[in-house]
Structure 1
């Protein structure tokens, strides 16, 4: 009927100044954004660019998860994620949504995350003229008494138009006739049509009149609806009932019980008889909902409640009551009734989770938003005001926002290791009397961060490993723990880089990064390295990663893997000893000296005579290695004797080595001094002159030796007082080398007596003087050997070095303590020279260039100068021993 007038689309933006006024003091829930749209927009129509209005980039729509939620159950709008536009997703019918309400507003909530924010969006739905006015009945019957005076008005049925504003019912039109005109009465905003009698009726002329009533709205183009009015002319009943009041108003609480009489209306009719009897009823156009809610006693005019009232659904009712008489042509009177419903606190507050609680990292700063929570109470006034609270003792608090919205935020620092999850009970309580409350619980997970470094169960570990154990064995397993979770608790083990004697520790050990097992990379040698100190690090997989260290001490346990090494006699130079046939039992032929690179039990050395040309002639001391005669020699004994001496250690299994000593027995050679004196007595009988020469020679040589010794001793005492070595130092102007020293060695064992004086250090040219004394005539002279150079002396040492294995040359000053005192032995059972043949000297041991020195301990100085062992075997020292004697080889 009416042409389409087009759609009116507009959008109203609230200024940012107004937004800040609505924001209280916190920006989690911002002020409103308002749009206006006409109803009945097509699906997909654009309401507005909400992303632009929220100042969001298109990428933020996905990153911050823009969501649109409606307070009502039906979702009419959505977001075009590609353009950021708010679009229509369902039919928007203003009449269906808001009914006859003048203003129709849909409230939406725009929620974005990271940070969590919520915007209130209101969309005003503007009415369009999409409904035509209509009458409930297609035909209206009006009984009119013929006696009615002109100007009498007859109320007609009102038309209905769901549209509002200009589009709602605007006017009525009556078809042209000569008896009636149209009058429109405004009552409570409603337009009620009335027929006005303009010309007296004559039932005899025309008993029925038919008119067309048209209702027109104010839209553009206008819409209309019509109904037929049948006017029946009746006999006169010329007084209508009149109410005592034109309007009645009553206020009742919403909990008023059913069947309660809330109001009584009263009307009077001036007629008599049946024309004066009044019947009460609802105005015919009264909505069915009101007629179901209330009932009117037709005789008494009492209004009764039929069902329970609910202020939250409808807070007031307005309707009309008609009073009709019982005349032949009933007349009516009407009044307006308004019933106001008073609110009571009958609704429990409702807690609304606007966003689910998100997990919070344990290092989140106080004030971090966990969730948005709303509260709703359908009551009004103080009954509808709600306060939210949580239980005490939690690291959270509720921060109020606009209206009944709150933000659950942290108010202290969190610790996942102590409490990984919190259960927060939210309590909503209104301000009514008595107050009502409701509760709900939410769970807040605390996310772990890497704030705990791994820790070892002990700061250091001690591991004992036998030497010579094959590579690839698990030596030990370290264990660390991390109270964090997930990747933050996953650990990897490593060995920190360091050097052991110039070699990287990673070449000795390998650690399994996952379980902390430490493996050996190759076998160990106790004689080279006795203890390892390594740093093990445990590092977690957090970001950034944390770590801690522990020290692992690996002690190498000695194994008997070294056979004794013979120091004297030299395997290169050989051992050829001479002895006189006149030697007595117990005569020292030679002394075998050996050392063992092992330690403890494994380094104890014993000597035994394995084979001999004549086993009854010689014996070997078990502990010292001294070879002595067991009996006197006879003319029948062979002049050449060969001894095979076996040297064993005390390890398990036993290691041993052998050395061969060749002894040449000669008549009248190298006899002891006591024998010489006996022979001198016998020779005196034969030749006194020879004896005299021998005595004079011996006395001269002895006197010269003593003089030389005392002179050198006096010089040494002046230059180096209190020193164990005798050093000759020149004055500063003549000689400035403080390392140059003088060594004196005196040998009194055996038939050959000699004193050796060594001067200078090994880095410069040395001086060596030797003197020899012998009771035999061919050795009765005093020999002063010319100074020898360092080069010659070094050559001599090189020969001795070649005869000894490398394991005998150890340059360590550390001493190993014996496990117990049972290892100590009497001095006469210690390895090395002992008894009356113990070698006493004032000397400083010499070590080759660039190798460290290790002098004998004071209690071991008398145990022999030839690498002997004391109560507990010590690492062997590099010393020089003269073949066949306890002196040094330089004297030969």
Structure 2
């Protein structure tokens, strides 16, 4: 309400022009002219929230409207809508302008109607042109100094004062006895003459060739040239002369075709052909004027062609040129002003413009519109003269009224509140009557439709929507449906969905107006697995209401990426291996990767070729390549192992690589598996172990003997001997083997016949690896052993092999 009152006070009705703009002709369609809202300062003092409620539109004022030349945007910016040609719109050497009526709207009402004057600035787009390229003149050798002959004027179609002003120059040669004279005639054009400066002598020279240059006042100027050929002889030297330079005529618009409006007469003192005068309309007489009047070139009579239409202009300017029959002809120009007195009485014409029209004669307003709202603009046209053109208008209605704005301009406003539930439409009739005798009346009827107000926001059925979609699906694949509801009717209940996107982020999805989310391109889970964004829904009501909801789209992985080896990174890969008895079984670790999700990227390794001797083994889960058995000297050589890694997807994808292994074996290694089984073969490391164990046993025996002697001396009475159980000649022995990742690191032995004796438990300390105890594995092996004298046993039971 504050905005409406403020604009109403700021823009009172006025006959004066509110704003003036300038635009050059022939500008491109859509050329910006000015910002009406900013230049008129309409939005100063209005909050930013109310700025969008103020809109502008260009009004059409009847069939003579020139609205089609211009266009006004809703925000008040004025543009051209056509390629404007000043020459076709305006007269020569006159101010070229047009008046526009621009309506200012607020919501569904007119706030005011502004008068905008647009000056069309002429550009220098036409070159002055002579009607002919060459003129032939004759001078008598008996002519005195100052004798002159007329030349045809150049015509410049531009209408601007500077661009249409033509100056003339004479390209004078040293031997030319002529000068160029330029003077103004009654119509503002130049009278161009060649003047004799020196007496002529035909016997010396009988012809001259000259050039006259016509140059306009534009920047840069344009020019053309007239070739003048002068023949020295006797010529016609008296032009025709009108009795007056200007004639005024008053006529009625009665269309009497047989009665001349005026008879013009020009006198010429010459005789014969040089004294015969013909009459023509000058080039300065517009084509529109010629369409209503005709000229008899022999008698000088001007006739009215046809009756002028109602509302046409009342003053016509005709320029008549009298031309004699000489060679070259001499001319004289007169201006005829014809005033039309209109005695007819025509009924007024009513034009109504709506803020929001449903159809040609139907206006729609909302039920919450304020009393006093400006809902329609009325323009009355009656171009009759006197009382016949004075008009009074009236509107009789309970809810609407007609208020005067300007001369023959009115506004329709709301007088009482409307309620759509009580009545949803009204019929309005505007009556206008002139003061002629008899008075003529015109009625214009239209309907007012009452509409509901959009007051309910759309609502999503969920606060968050979550969808799953497989990667690699083609574009336009359905992802899910966003559901929202709106209880309003009509446009207020019609919903449109959008994505709220960041300018720096482009979503690979699209959403239809009905809420279906589709892919706009195939998705790649390896690039992005989860998309989070907001969906914006708005209704089509005015003002539009909206809501937002969160959407999460999870991209489901497909097995679309084959695994690949990261080590070795080249194929084939060469590796030299030197084996000696103390070597470990592990050779190297094959590594591979897969860009798919863990479900499809669970990798397994295997050897597919080159392992005929079954010498190598690969851990299917870790990729560890190791020896699968003992290595012998006859295993030395080259091996091309074919390794493959496979994922766990469907279908299974794989990658292969080739390991070119060169195996060299130390001489300390067994020649073959057969020689290792022979009893004559004792490995060196076993000899060292036995030697070391024997030394430990010897030390233990010595320590035990010393302890026994001391005990025997100090405690003979407490010394007791435990008899040996002869019933069980065999003794049980338990070996505790402690291993770490299949490598034997310690062994211990205990026997059941040492109880109560001074013989301690014998432990082997060879090849102990101080590793993390958490990774140790303990295995217990039980067996029956013979008498102690047979402790060495055979090699297969007593020898500890340390694998690679």
Structure-2-length-normalised TM-score: 0.46
Higher strand share: 2
Q: Whose radius of gyration is greater, 1 or 2?
A: 1
Structure-1-length-normalised TM-score: 0.42
